[in-house]
């Protein structure tokens, strides 16, 4: 059974995951209308992944005797000065999500809710991967600079991007 404070904290994280999905969906739309179909495809996948993270939390709350709450979401940015600016915002947002997950883990330890603590370890590992992907993408963008040919190749290849991280050293 979840304590009320942990239930509230998990519901806050549900909202953050839902907003993350919306942020990536807005980024996908922006990239798509700019002709960056590879980036758009990557962002659509990210949006779905964040929605899946939200649903996983919802099921956990409900299965542990809580009541998952679906709340109003903040509107995401819908335009960006450049694709680099968009990916900088992506990294900043992933750091925010990581901090939120870490705070949630801290609360579970304070309340000695080891079942929820164990459940959240998947999210901790996932955030390591999400931040690594964002940093890797920004490194590639910085290598490209203003080279339009480089942008073309980056856009074409981003959907196949794989990053090996501490979270999954066997990732290909």
pTM of the model: 0.90
**Buried residues in 100-129 as b, exposed as e (16+ CB within 10 A):** bbeebbebbeeeebeebbebbeebeebbbb
Q: Is the pLDDT of residue 163 over 70?
A: no
The per-residue pLDDT for 74 is 94
Render pLDDT for 34-75 as a digit per residue (tens, 0 to 9): 999 999 999 999 999 999 999 999 999 999 999 999 999 999
- Angle ∠(77,161,48) on CA atoms, nearest 5: 45
The per-residue pLDDT for 36 is 94
CATH architecture under which domain 4-160 falls = Up-down Bundle (1.20)
Q: Is the pLDDT of residue 159 over 80?
A: no
Q: What are the structural domain ranges in the chain?
A: 4-160
The per-residue pLDDT for 20 is 98
Q: Is the pLDDT of residue 129 over 60?
A: yes
- Cβ contacts of residue 126 below 8 Å, gap of 6+? 53, 167
> How much is the average pLDDT of 85-89?
97
Q: Is the pLDDT of residue 142 over 60?
A: yes
Q: Is the pLDDT of residue 167 over 80?
A: no
């Amino acid at each position: 059974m979840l304590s009320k404070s942990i239930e509230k904290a998990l519901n806050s994280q549900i909202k953050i995951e839902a907003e993350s999905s919306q942020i990536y969906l807005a980024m996908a739309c922006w990239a798509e209308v700019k002709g960056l179909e590879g980036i758009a495809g990557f962002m659509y996948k990210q949006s779905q992944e964040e929605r899946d993270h939200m649903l996983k939390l919802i099921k956990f709350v409900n299965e542990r005797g809580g009541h998952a709450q679906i709340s109003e979401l903040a509107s995401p940015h819908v335009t960006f000065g450049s694709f680099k600016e968009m990916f900088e915002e992506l990294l900043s947002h992933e750091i925010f999500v990581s901090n939120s997950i870490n705070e949630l883990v801290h609360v579970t330890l304070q309340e000695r809710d080891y079942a929820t603590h164990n459940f959240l370890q998947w999210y901790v590992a996932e955030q390591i991967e999400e931040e690594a992907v964002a940093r890797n993408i920004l490194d590639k963008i910085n290598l490209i600079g203003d080279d339009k040919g480089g942008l073309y190749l980056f856009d074409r290849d981003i959907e196949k991007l794989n990053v090996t991280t501490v979270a999954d050293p066997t990732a290909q």
